Structure 1
Amino acid sequence: MSQHNALLLLGSNLGDTEKNLNCALKRLEDSGCQIIKKTGFHFSAPVEFSSSHEFCNVAVYVNTVLSPLKLLELIKKIETEMGRTNDSLAAGKYEDRIIDIDIVKFRNLVFHSELLQIPHKKHLFERAFSQVLISELNQTVE
């Protein structure tokens, strides 16, 4: 089976945010995703909605045998199992969340469907916190 490299961004702004992110990363690993590189935790204000809860974020490169849609399926399962009740895309708005996992890049693939947009242009070009994380991840030496 082919291994695919994917860039994921994770965020949490409810509860013990660092613990939430570590739990999500462990679930990814337990499901067969190999974490190749990881940034440190970064804290930022919510983007595109108002909240008094700061986000804790982390970026990772993973290797996976999953296709983009199967990886998205796994991510949604992890988010649901961890207690996330509303999907931002389905709800049409952003809100506080215990965990959020986004596929930012998947190899050099360009993919657009109702459920998934790769690359994730907001993270790559519009969100300052994402650009900081991606820059740090790309500077990290194994």
Structure 2
Amino acid sequence: MIAFIALGSNMGDRNKYLEDAIDLINKRVGRVLKRSSILETKPYGYTEQDNFLNMAIKIDTELSPRDLLKKLLQIEAELERVRLITWGPRTIDLDIIYYGNEIIDEDDLKIPHIDLYNRDFVLKPIVEIDRDFIDPRKNKKVSELLEELNK
């Protein structure tokens, strides 16, 4: 299954955390097909923290959405992610943005990612790697969603 993962880091060696996460995803989750360039962005939500490096990857995985979430949480923990403040500082953040064309609405798993429509730092990298991908909830290309957000 094709999935899109958003990555972010704003603590320590941000580039290394992104690279280490991609390496672990490639080894344990699925083959990385494409990766976006890296954007430096201001914090979202909780703003009293350092800027983030953000990017996205497109992967091919055999894992179910639930198992994919489990593996990504394990990788975050291995890369010293600590959850103290909602939207707070983190070594690495790995979010499932899309999992094929599936729509999942469970308490702890929402695909497409529930807040992606408000986050240009998520949409820009996804548009960079697959501008014609159709969002299953809005039935629009991700490039159109980004245009709407930037209006």
Which interval holds the TM-score relative to the shorter structure?
Answer: 0.7 to 0.9
Pairwise mapping of residues 44-83 of structure 1 onto structure 2 (< 5 A)?
44-83=41-80
Q: CA RMSD in A?
A: 1.6
Match of 2:45, SS state, is coil
Structure 1 residue 116 displacement after superposition: 0.7
- Gap regions ≥5 residues in structure 1: none
- Name the counterpart of 2:35: 38
Match of 1:8 in 2: 5
User: Deviations along 1:58-108, whole A, 9 cap, x unmatched?
Assistant: 101000000000000000000001101217xxx6x2100000000000000
Matches within 5 A, 1:1-142: 4-86=1-83, 93-123=86-116, 125-139=117-131
- Amino acid of the structure 1 residue aligned with 2:97: V
One-letter amino acid of the counterpart of residue 69, structure 2: L
**Residues paired across the two proteins, number:** 132
Between the two proteins, what is the percent identity of the paired residues? Answer: 30
Aligned-partner Cα distance in 2 for 1:34–1:78: 15
Q: TM-score, normalised by structure 1?
A: 0.88
- Asked if the contact 2:49/2:89 (under 8 Å) is kept, the reply is no
Q: TM-score, normalised by structure 2?
A: 0.83
Alpha-carbon distance between aligned partners in 1 of 2:48 and 2:93, rounded to the nearest angstrom: 15
Kindly provide the amino acid, as one letter, of the partner of residue 37 in structure 1.
Answer: K
**SS at 2:115's partner residue?**
helix
Q: Post-superposition, which runs of at least 4 consecutive aligned residues in structure 1 deviate over 4 A?
A: none
- Unaligned stretches of 5+ in structure 2? 132-151
